[in-house]
Chain A
Amino acid sequence: MADLRIEHLNKRYGVTTVLNDINLNIEDGEFVVLVGPSGCGKSTLLRMIAGLDGASGGDIHIAGKLVNTLAPAERGIAMVFQSYALYPHMNVRKNMTFGLKFTGVRPAERERRVTEAARMLRLEELLERYPRDLSGGQRQRVAIGRAIVREPAVFLFDEPLSNLDAALRVSTRVEIANLHRLLKSTIVYVTHDQVEAMTLADRIVVMNRGCIEQVGRPLDLYYAPANLFVAGFIGSPAMNFFEARVKSVEGGRACVAGPGFRSLDLPAGHLKIGDALTVGIRPEHLAQGEDGPLAVEGVVELVERLGESSFAYLRRDDGRLFVAEIRGRQTPPPGERVTLTAAARDVHVFDASGLRIATPNDV
């Protein structure tokens, strides 16, 4: 049980900067997910917390203690690896107790911890088996068990579900969530899968190109992305972006218009006439209809039917493609011209530098 504090953390390899001035506070018992595209530095950050990679600058505190110079085993962390990294020449029991031997845990205590973890993870039957005789899901549970017996202050997970098939991924995800509820420990979890991030996290850290783009609760990221990157990264299919300009500013309201859609009112704020803006609308917030402050038109090109809903790919008159989610059985046939509208509260507006402009509906 511990909090984790990261201050001005940097990582450079030669001239390439992998992590740039990372600041992050993780509270005791919090489940934090680091998410971002490949190469964004999320795994590097995790490895630096673990002590597997050194920092080029900055501090890491675990439970109030500066751990910069401590070896991984002295930091009070446990890590679950993407490939599980079980020792192939040891059975499950030895895999779990191996590390404890070197940290001076007595045999009786080791046994107690293994029994406890095995019960929690339903591994009792597997203790004498070797990793090669286990399925992917079982290996995954052993890897988690090996982390649990260390009784760490902070759990680190490095894309633990990416080697599992889809069904197992969902059930293991639920198991990890349950485990967190049970152990109430601090967890830092790296993934590139935003569904994992949204479902598991107390807070999500969205990273891009070695920087933190936004930190927030899952729904905050979804409903109020701080910038264009987060808006485009969270949500699937990705948010549609439309170019727009401020047409007029009158009485504290700015009227926004752009090719392909009608018009939109915003609180003026600092906006001036002619300012370039980006308007974002999620596919699931576009609905067929005539009403609403914003309407976009397009010709249906392709419809993907998923069952509970369908995704329609539409081309606007200026040639740009956008996606709308259509609920129900009725889908427009390709070639049909459709007008889609969105409610004001579902419209995101970003300024020329990509930062979110507050709308009255923001919480």
Chain B
Amino acid sequence: MPESVSNITAQMPRAKLAGLLLFFLGPAVAIYTLFSIYPLVATMALSTYTSDPSGGRHFVGLANFETLLGDALWSKPFWNAFSNNLIFFAVHMCVQNPIGIALAGLLSLPGLRLKGLYRTVMFLPTMLSVVIVGFSWNLILSPLWGVAAGALKAVGLGSLFAPWLGLESSALVTLALISVWQFVGIPMMLIYAALLNIPEELIDAARVDGLGHFRIFLHIKLPLVLPTISLVSVLTFVANFNAFDLIYSVKGALAGPNFATDILGTFFYRTFFGNQLQLGNPTMGSAVATVMFFIILVGLCLYLFLVQRRIRRYAF
């Protein structure tokens, strides 16, 4: 019988073991520290300073956070961005993920032709650059030269058209739906892969039990891919609360109209780097980034403790 690894390491001289650990773990730890841990800690540290007009920095403790959450000049845009972000996330959860699940369910139907084609076409937008997607949709939805107005008119629904991206009431949801259009391929692919994992005999057993395709999906497939669906939800949550690029490429850093599409990412960008008349403020920006980090951390903890524990993965 071969010796177990723990036995071998236990008999090693301390120095040799340290060398071994360094050799195997060192590179990963070094890279992770350099690119993930150090920037995070540095950002948090920076958020406890303030800079005076001469360029000097002074330690101020949590004063930046007090300003951010207490001073109306800061807290109003912050809470506006936060609630916009919640809406942005809600649209993804209510539209992107159900559609992704439905598409995956359709793709996994037995006897479907051109499966590969559908899969590729629906995943294609995900591979496009956000800038291209943002620019294209800006053109499509433009009331001046966009095709949307003409397309609606052609099917007799011309009266429904509105400059959605320009209205405060609809701009945020429109942007969220553009994002949904682009990224629906990801939940689709992940859930499709999970569906493929369900053994064929289980589906046969359900057919013998008298279930049709829809009921099989609802009662058998869906409960079995629940772990993947919850994983997709977490990915959506993290991606949405870190989102920036689509808003920036469609609406610019000001996230108009009248900050209606401002989310935490764009709010952070303006704070940290400055925009037009607003001066960049790295220490305040770091405070915003730190708050964003904790929002995501709290969300993930809630998920891990409330949801993840109750979900069981099934081995087939």
Contacts and interface: CB of A to CB of B under 8 A. Distances in A.
A102 B207 contact: no
Nearest to A79: B208
Contacts of A146: 205
B315 A77 contact: no
Nearest to B199: A83
Interface stretch (A84-92, A244-252, A268-276, A311-319): A84-92
B314 A89 contact: yes
A102 to B, nearest CB: 4
Interface in B96-127: none
Contacts, number: 63
A229 interface: no
Given A79-B205, A87-B220, A103 B199 contact: no
B156 interface: no
A99 B208 contact: yes
Interface string A149-186: 01000000000000000000000000000000000000
A102 B312 CA distance: 26
A72 B208 contact: yes
A85 B199 contact: yes
Interface in B194-249: 199, 201-202, 204-211, 215, 219-220, 223-224
Contact of A52 (B208, B211, B215): B208
A132 interface: yes
A273 to B, nearest CB: 56
A81 B201 contact: yes
Nearest to A89: B223
Nearest to A131: B314
Nearest to A103: B210
How many chain A residues sit at the interface, stated as a range, is: 20 to 34
A73 B216 CA distance: 13
Nearest to B210: A73
A72 B209 CA distance: 8
Nearest to B212: A71
B315 to A, nearest CB: 7
Given A85-B204, A88-B224, A73 B314 contact: no
Interface in A117-138: 132
A98 B209 CA distance: 8
A79 B314 contact: no
Contact of A99 (B209, B312, B314, B315): B209
A47 B205 CA distance: 11
Given A50-B204, A83-B201, A99-B210, 9 more contacts: A72-B208, A81-B201, A85-B199, A87-B206, A89-B314, A99-B209, A99-B211, A132-B315, A146-B205
Interface of A: 47, 50-52, 71-74, 77-79, 81-83, 85-89, 98-99, 102-103, 132, 146, 150
7 contacts: A50-B204, A72-B207, A87-B205, A88-B224, A99-B209, A103-B210, A132-B314
